[in-house]
Amino acid sequence: MKKVIKIDLRMIDSFKNHPFRVEKDESLNELRNSIKENGLLNPLVVRRKENGRFEMISGHRRKLALELNGIHEADCYIEELNDDEATIYMVDSNIYRNKILPSEKAFVYKMKLEAIKHQGKKTLLHRVCRS
């Protein structure tokens, strides 16, 4: 079972080249209110960086909602992931969101494909893209 730890939000950096926009819209407002009423139900997912900080893998919207509520730390899972694994995790945890622009979707599938190629994994997506 994964261990949840509290991390100061100021120690968490955004995912490098994070392709999804975090918009300050009604959905974020609803998330903010939910967190205010119920707390954070799903921990953020981060990985350690060499400089002692953390990189966000999943939870950019939740982090912003926490900050807007004046909360300065969050429950987090720390995953041990290389760059390619982190990219795949980030894409897979965001790709099924309700509002994703077609350009965002195309970009993240390209990111995921490149990460899979780096790992040498053969997948249906990989075979389709090579055809």
What is the tens place of the pLDDT at every residue in 82-111?
Answer: 999 998 898 888 776 656 667 766 766 677
What is the tens place of the pLDDT at every residue in 5-46?
Answer: 999 999 999 998 877 778 888 989 999 999 999 999 999 999
| Domain boundaries defined on the chain | 4-130
Distance CA 90, CA 60 (A): 10
Q: Which fold has domain 4-130?
A: 3.90.1530
Helix (H) or strand (E) holding 94: helix 83-94
Q: Is 16 helix (H, G, I), strand (E, B) or coil?
A: coil
